[in-house]
Structure formats: structure tokens, C-alpha cells
Chains A and B, each alone.
Chain A
Amino acid sequence: MSASAEWTPPLIQDEIDALKDKPGALLPILHAIQDRVGFIPDAAVPIIAESLGLTRAEVHGVISFYHHFRTSRPGSHVVRICRAEACQAVGARALEAHAQASLEVDYHQTTRDQEITLEAVYCLGNCACGPSICVDDRVHGRVTPETFDRLVDDLRTAPLEVK
């Protein structure tokens, strides 16, 4: 389950203050915010910049450099499909085509019901048992189009966690 807390400037500031004295603190801070909120809100950029003595451009530059960081709210679940060679060798190209067609989204998009965000990933380290996908933080191996559909159905029908 992706984090989906409503964010406020003080919440962002708390995450920054807990980490800002570490050497090279920016990536740990961005991870902390994304883990907490689910994404890095645009309005967090000036707060981070101010706290670390960086320009907004520098902070934006770092966020946009890394594929992991996102700047808009994802769906309730993030499904990442491995596109790399070892998975290609056992059918990843067909699996990604199936996923995009069945979810009616391209990579980096969220389904209309806001349930699932589809992302590409280049290797999950499960290369002897591909094709691999990662649903939130859980890796699944030997995924076929049928098991993909079953996993997605389970996500859509799972009861919401009340936090």
C-alpha cells in the first residue's frame, strides 16, 4: 500500500529537520518525504531549498534526475514491470504489452479508477525467475498475463487499510 498521508508544510519541515544535518542530506530527505506522502509535492521544493541552503533549481534538478521520485500523487498501488534483458528473455515484452492494454495506461500513468500506477523498472534482482514485477514493495516472479490479472484483481478488491 502506497503512503497517502495528506501533507502540510510543517510535516515536510519535520522530515527535513530530522535529516538535514547528515552529510549529503538531500536524497535521504526526498526519500523520507516520498515514503510519508507518496510523492514530492511541488510546494515542498522551496521548503527543502530554504532548509538546506540550496536553490529551488538545484532541488528540482535532483528530483527530476532520479526515476524513483515522483511529483504527483500515485494511485493506491504502484505496479512496476521489469523491462530489462533477463526478463525480456522470458516474455517481459509480451507482459508489458498485456499490462498496458488491460490497465489502459502507459508507463507513468494511473488507471482511471486511481487504483494503479504503472511504472517501468530496470531490474529487480530476481533475474533467474522472471518475468518479474513489483507490487508496492513485493516482488513477484514467473509472472504470466494470467497471474498479472489475478494480482491486479486482488489489489482492486482488497479492503482499504484504515490508518
Chain B
Amino acid sequence: MMVRVFVPRDTTALAMGADEVADRLRVEADARGLEVALTRNGSRGLAWLEPLIEVETDAGRMAYGPVAVEDVADLLDAGLLEGTTEHPLALGFTEAIPYLARQQRLTFARIGVTDPLSIADYLAHDGFRGLETALTLDTQTIVDEVKASGLRGRGGAAFPTGIKWQTVHDTPSDQKYIVCNADEGDSGTFADRLAMECDPYMLIEGMAIAGLAVGATQGYIYLRSEYPLAHRILDEAIERAEQAGYLGADIRGSGRRFDLEVRLGAGAYICGEETSLLESLEGKRGMVRYKPPLPAIVGLFGRPTVVNNVLSLAAIPYILAHGGQAYADYGMGRSRGTLALQLAGNVKRGGLVELAFGTTLRELMEDFGGGTFTERPLRAVQVGGPLCAYLPESQWDMPLDYETFASVGAGIGHGGVVMFDDTVDMAEQARFSMEFCAVESCGKCTPCRIGSTRGVEVIDRILANQDRDANLELLDELCETMEDGSLCAMGGMTPFPVKSVMTHFPDDLQR
């Protein structure tokens, strides 16, 4: 009897040896005369269990992980294909694994469940329902639905998506664009990558809906060059979506057009800033533009442009399929819907955790994360990427909500949560923040271009104990200058992690 086995194919699963496991599984099954139908699914996002393989049984999918190549023969002998629970790597029913069962997956409901490139799988799991609905609505009604959802930009700035769409909708032009910001450069973040590698049609659907809503006929996914696998998967998915009539000149026979193309970045963190991204898409150096004018009015090639993060666009199919209110029912305060958190760094159980806004950081790091990978005490956590603050234990009980975090000078950013144990040298982390800014600054404004280099030098003097107090004061002033005088968030927010070290971990600057 043919048994279906799933071996994931996202970057993390492959980095942990999923291809080798899949190959061995074929060989060992053949040797035993067992019939296996192998599906290369996306990842469930339980990174610490990768490669997490699953076996389909009458009662549901059974999980095993992390599976090494050497485990395959033993697993087969123990009854893998019957869904045995009698093996050290057996995890029981996949969907009963507490890490997964306790999540509220709206955007990431399909990842790991389906074959990422199968349109049939996508359709069988609610796929393209949002687009079909959007095709029956007038443009303003689509925008209103997005406004009703309360969705705010998931790239980090948290600007209301519906209002951005309204501006583009209301700006007349012969050509408008939808640009997806897939330049996921923040360390500790991989949710965009998971969405693109594991459920690419969701992003395609979200972008097509955006196009219908604002009257744009061309979309670009600006993808970082560090994601070659996502590139191959997106290209293939776009081609298949065109063939199936979900993209192109006549979407589902509606007479409405939306074309989509992936464009690769080239290793510049600053191109995650939306105006720099647009310059790069136009074939130029990724230099930040002055705002105003807003990209929604004068964007790509001077035309009105929606620039949204992958996760903002990926939330759209759910909102259109289930209604804006269904999405807004999750969350707290002005932070509506769910947040894709990414547990990273020194964490025992790292991975993707999608939850409604309002969970505390401590619940996330302890209940989901299980503490540190090194099993040493947790000391600091950087939430929201390299431009956000390091948080000490006194701040771990804050609920994850945009306003709560902003009130203490912290940010949620793109949802990355990077944990550090007690061996971390926070002075080195502060120095790295300045160093990273010096490497990645576009160079257009002085506070960022020069300030970051001076910042590294001042921290070096502090660490060498040269006029320490005077240099600490100078560092504080430099941070203020960068914050107030920089053109964009690169220079304007680099001081946040530095100042958080000065405030919360001052001893590390006094050694």
C-alpha cells in the first residue's frame, strides 16, 4: 500500500539536511520493497525539529523529528509508515504538538501542510477565495475591507495598510504599481521567507487583490538575493498562476489585468527602506529619497505605488475571504490581527509563532522557546531587528503590542526575537549596531554615514578606558544627533540598541 510521507523543502529544513533525508528514505524504502509517495512540503515553522518528516495515516499526520540521515533506516524498521509512536523521534500527531496547537495561524495556516507549488493543494485549503471575492467587489469596497481589518504594515513601520491603499486608489494615473518588499534583512527574521517558500500563492493572491483594489496592473516582488530558493519557488509559482488564470491579462475571465515579476536585490540592507527599494528597482544605487512626496503618490518610476511588506500582503487573502472584521477580532488595542513572531538566536525551540497581539515576551521565550539553546540563563533579547532595542528582564512582561513597545523606546519591527544568554557582551553588541550601520548606510545623509563610523570609534575608546565618562557623554550626544538628524530609520534608529545597552546594561561598558 502506498503511504504518503512529507519531507519539507524550506531553507532551514534543507540547511539541516532534508534533501539527504529524502534521498535516504527513497533508497531504504526501495530496499525494503515499501511503496512511499514522497511529497516535498513547506515547513511547519518548527525549526528546532527540522528536518520534521510526516507520515499520513487514517487518523491524521504523524510527525518525527529532528530526523538525521542515520535515523531513516531505524525509523522505517520501527514502523514509520504505519505511523508508529514507538520511536524516540516520534512526536505524535503533528497538529497536536503544543508549539503548533497553541498558535493562532491565520496567515500561516497552510505552511507545511501543502506542497508549496501545487495549485490544487492551495485551492483545497481555501486558496484564491479572497481573490474570487475581490473580483465581485468594487475597488472601494476592497479598500474598506482592508481598513476594517485594522491591518498595519508588518515590515516594521506599522502604518495602516488600508489608508496607504486608499491614497493610491485616489491618486489618478495611467499606471500604478504594487511593490512587495521582500528584502527581509533583519537578523532574526524569516517569516517572509517561510511565506514565500512554503505558500507562494498566498503572496501572489494578496498582490493581485491589491492590484484590483487600487487599479494597478503591474506588481514587483523585490526579493533579497540571499534567498535563492524563494526566488526559484516564486518564479515557478508565478508561471503556474499565469497558466491557471490567476495572473495575467484576464484574471479568471474578469477582463482585469495583473502581471507580476520577481526582481532581485543585491545584498544591501538599506533597500528594505521603501524609497531606497524603489530606487533599486529603477536600476539605481539604493539611495533613500526625501519624503514627501510619499511613494503612494510619487512612487516607482514616479507613479502611485503601494509598497507593502510580504506579511502585510500575505494577510490580505484571509481578510478578503473571511471579512475584515474576522481579522480585527484578534489582537489588542490598536494592534489588530495576528503577529508572526520569529524565535531566533540562542533559543532551544526556535521557529515561527503566529499569535494575536498581546502575548508577553516572557510567555513567548519560555513557553514556546523553552529558554536558551545553551541552557544558560537568558540575559537580553533584541526584538524587531538590528535597529531595535535590547530588552533586559524587567521588560519581558510587556505585552507584544505596537503602542506598548513604543512607549518604552522599543519596537516590534518585523517580529524577530533574538535571544542571548548570559555570556553575551553587550558592549560588543552596541559596537556591532554602529558597525552594521556604517557598512549598510546608503551615505546620503551625514548623521548616518559619518555618525555610525564615529560611533564605532567612540565605543572603542570607551572599551579601552580612554576618558570613559567623557566618551560616554559623547556617545549619548552622537545618538541624539543620529536620531534627530538622519533621513530614514537606518541612522535614526541605530541609536536605539546602543542606548538600550547604555541604559540597561551599563556595567558592560565599564569593564
Contacts and interface: CB of A to CB of B under 8 A. Distances in A.
Given A84-B187, A86-B418, A90-B373, A128 B284 contact: no
B227 A125 contact: yes
Interface in A68-108: 68-69, 82, 84-90, 93
B228 A137 contact: yes
A122 B420 CA distance: 18
B78 interface: no
B275 interface: no
Contacts of B226: 121, 123-125, 134
Contacts of A61: 285
Given A125-B226, A141-B15, A141-B16, A90 B345 contact: yes
B440 A129 contact: no
A67 interface: yes
A26 B189 CA distance: 29
Contacts of B344: 86, 89, 127-128, 130
Interface stretch (A5-13, A27-35, A155-163): A27-35
Given A86-B418, A125-B11, A68 B225 contact: yes
Contacts of A67: 266-268
Given A85-B418, A86-B187, A88-B432, A130 B285 contact: no
Contacts of A86: 187-188, 344-345, 416, 418
Nearest to B285: A65
B264 interface: yes
A142 interface: yes
Interface in A128-144: 128-130, 132, 134, 137-142
A31 B419 CA distance: 35
Given A67-B268, A68-B225, A69-B266, A123 B186 contact: yes
Interface string B276-289: 00001111111000
Interface of B: 11-12, 14-16, 47-48, 50, 184-190, 193, 225-228, 263-269, 280-286, 301, 342-347, 350-351, 373-374, 382, 386, 416, 418-421, 424, 428-429, 432, 436, 439-440, 442
Interface of A: 23-28, 30-31, 52, 58, 61-62, 65-69, 82, 84-90, 93, 121-130, 132, 134, 137-142
